[in-house]
Amino acid sequence: MPETVTLKLKEKNFEIPVISGTENEKALDIRKLRQESSYLTYDPGYGNTGACTSAVTYLDGEIGILRHRGIPIEQLAEKSSFLETSYLLIYGDLPTKSQLEKFKKTIAKQADLNKDFKNLFASYPKFASPMAVLVAMVSSLAAYYPDLAKSNPSKEDVDELAIQLLSKMPTICAYIYKTTLKNESFVEPRKDLDYVSNFLHLMFSSKKKEYPLNQEVVEALETLLILHADHEQNCSTSTVRMVGSSWADLFASISGGICALSGPLHGGANQEVMEMLEAIHADGGNIKKYVSKAKDPKSDFRLMGFGHRVYKNYDPRAKIIKRRVDDVLKKLGVQDPLLEIAWALEKVALEDSYFIERKLYPNVDFYSGIIYKAIGIPTNMFPVMFAMGRLPGWIAHWKEMKENPETKIGRPRQIYVGKNQRDYIPLDQRT
Ligand code: ACO
C-alpha cells in the first residue's frame, strides 16, 4: 500500500502521496494539490522543496555526509582524479581502465579553441571580471558549435557535448586569465599532459618559458577540483536545470549556471573569503572586531566562508581542505599569515554562541582560497576555478534532467501581494 499523509484544508481531507528516496528521505508529492484544493505551497529559497529526483549526489547536512553516485567524497578526494570523478558523475559508475584512458585521451585532443573563437578574448577589456568573461565565452560556444547547440540532443550528442565542454573549459579559463589579468600571449594546450597539469601549463607557461610542473601543486589542485565537482541542487545547478528545462541547449544552461555561481553567497564566496582575511590581516589581525560585525543585526557583513543552507554541521569538503592546507603550504615552501588568521577566526566563531546556535560552520570556500593563492592563482580567478570544478556536476544534472520523462519546464507559482484591479489614469490626469 503506497504511503500517504492526510492533509485537512477547509474541512476537506486530501491524501498526499509520500515519495521515499534510497536513503529513506521522505517527500510529500504535492503535484496535484493546487488543482484539487486551489492551495499553493509557499517556500521562498526552496529550503523545503524537492524540485526533482536525482541519482547523482546524496548529502546529509545534519551529519555532514556527501557522496557522489554512492561513493563518499573522502574516498574520491583521496583516491580519484578529477576526470575519473567527472566520469562517475556524468555516467553513473566508475570507469574501467580502458574507459578512463579513452575519456582522458578524447578530452586532451579537443582542448584547442577555434581560431575565431580565440580572437573573442581580445575584445574584452583588461581587468574585466573573469566570471563575466567566462559566462560570455561558454555561451559563445553555441555560436561556434551550432551542431551541438541542440534543444533535444541525442545520447551521442550529449557525450560529445560533455567532452567538448570538459576539454575546452581549462583552455577558456586560462585564456581569460592571460587576457584580463596578464595581458600575455596564449600558449597552446599540451596533449601529453594530464588535465590539471595542462591547465597549469596554459595558465603559467609563456612563449619564452615553460611552467615547471610541481607534483604537489598538481595534486592539490586535483583535490580542489574533485571537492567542487558536484553538490546536488545548489543555486547554480538548479539554475542549469531551470534553464535547460525550457529545452535551452547545454551551453546556454551552463552559462546560466555560471551567472548564478558568480554571486558572493555562492561561488563568489571564495574570493570574498580571501578579501576578508586580507582585510583582517591589514587591520592588525583584529578577529574579534570582524566576528562582532558578522553578529551585528544592523550590519550587512557576514563571515564569508561560513554557513550553508544544507550543512548544519562541518562541511565535509571544508574538513578535507583544512586537513590538507597546512601540508600543501609546507610542501610548496609558502608561509601565509592568512592561514593563521583563518584558523584563529574559525576557532573564535566556533566557540561563539551566535555561530553555535545557528549551526554555522566553515564551508568549502573557507580554506580553498589559501591553496589557490599558494599555487599563484589571483583572487578574482577563484570563482572561475570553482566553475571549472563544478562543470561535471552541471553536465551530469543536465543530462539526468533530459533523460527523465517526468521533466517539465521549471515554472514556480507565486502569491500575488500587489494592488487589486484599478483603472488606467491618462497621463495628463495623474498627480
Ligand atoms: N555570518 C554571519 N551570520 C550568518 C552567516 C555568516 N556567514 N550565515 C548565516 N548567518 C546568520 C543569518 O544572519 C541568520 O541569522 P538570523 O537567524 O539571526 O537572521 C541565520 O544565520 C540563518 O542564515 P540564512 O541567511 O537564513 O541562511 P541561508 O541558508 O539562507 O544562507 C548562506 C546560507 C547563503 C550560505 C549563508 O550562510 C551565507 O551568506 N554565508 C556566507 C557566504 C558564503 O560563505 N557562501 C558560500 C556558501 S557554500 C557555496 O555556495 C559553495
Residues of the chain falling short of pLDDT 50: none
Q: Is 308 a catalytic residue?
A: yes
In a domain, 124, yes or no: yes
Tell which atom from ligand 1 comes closest to the C-alpha of 310. Answer: 29
What is the pLDDT at residue 402?
97
Asked if residue 411 is part of any domain, the answer here is: no
The pLDDT assigned to 391 comes to 98
363 lines ligand 1 (CB under 6 A): yes
> Looking at the domain assignment, is residue 172 inside a domain?
yes
Same domain, yes or no: 180 and 157: yes
Same domain, 86 and 203: yes
In a domain? residue 238: yes
Using CA atoms, how far apart are residues 384 and 261, in angstroms rounded to an integer?
Answer: 9
Burial-class residue 122 by CB neighbours within 10 Å (0-12, 13-18, 19+): exposed
pLDDT at 183: 86
Q: Give me the pLDDT at residue 127, please.
A: 87
Q: How far apart are CA 185 and CA 111, in angstroms?
A: 17
Q: What is the pLDDT of residue 333?
A: 92
Q: Is residue 430 part of a domain?
A: no
Statement to judge: residues 178 and 280 lie in one domain: no
Both 171 and 190 in one domain: the answer is yes
CB of 321 sitting under 6 A from ligand 1? no
pLDDT of residue 147: 92
Same domain, 284 and 339: yes
Residue to mutate, 225, 270, 308, ligand 1, most ligand atoms under 8 Å from C-beta:
308
**Exposure pattern of 357-374 as b/e (b: 16+ CB <10 Å)?**
eeebbbbbbbbbbbbbbb
Query: pTM score, two decimals?
Result: 0.96
Domain that holds residue 31: 4-65
**Cα distance between residue 235 and residue 250, in whole Å:** 17
CATH number at residue 142: 1.10.580.10
pLDDT in tens, 27-81: 999 999 999 999 999 999 999 999 999 999 999 999 999 999 999 999 999 999 9
Domain count, the chain: 3
Residue 303 lies in a domain: yes
54 and 85 share one domain: no
In a domain, 11, yes or no: yes
Spatial CA neighbour of 134 closest among 389, 395, 378, 387: 387
Q: Are residues 101 and 165 in the same domain?
A: yes
| DSSP sequence for 301-313 | ---TTB--SS-SS
Q: Residues 113, 52: one domain?
A: no
Cα separation of 315 and 368, whole Å? Answer: 13
The answer to whether residue 381 is domain-embedded is no
For residue 2, the model assigns a pLDDT of: 87
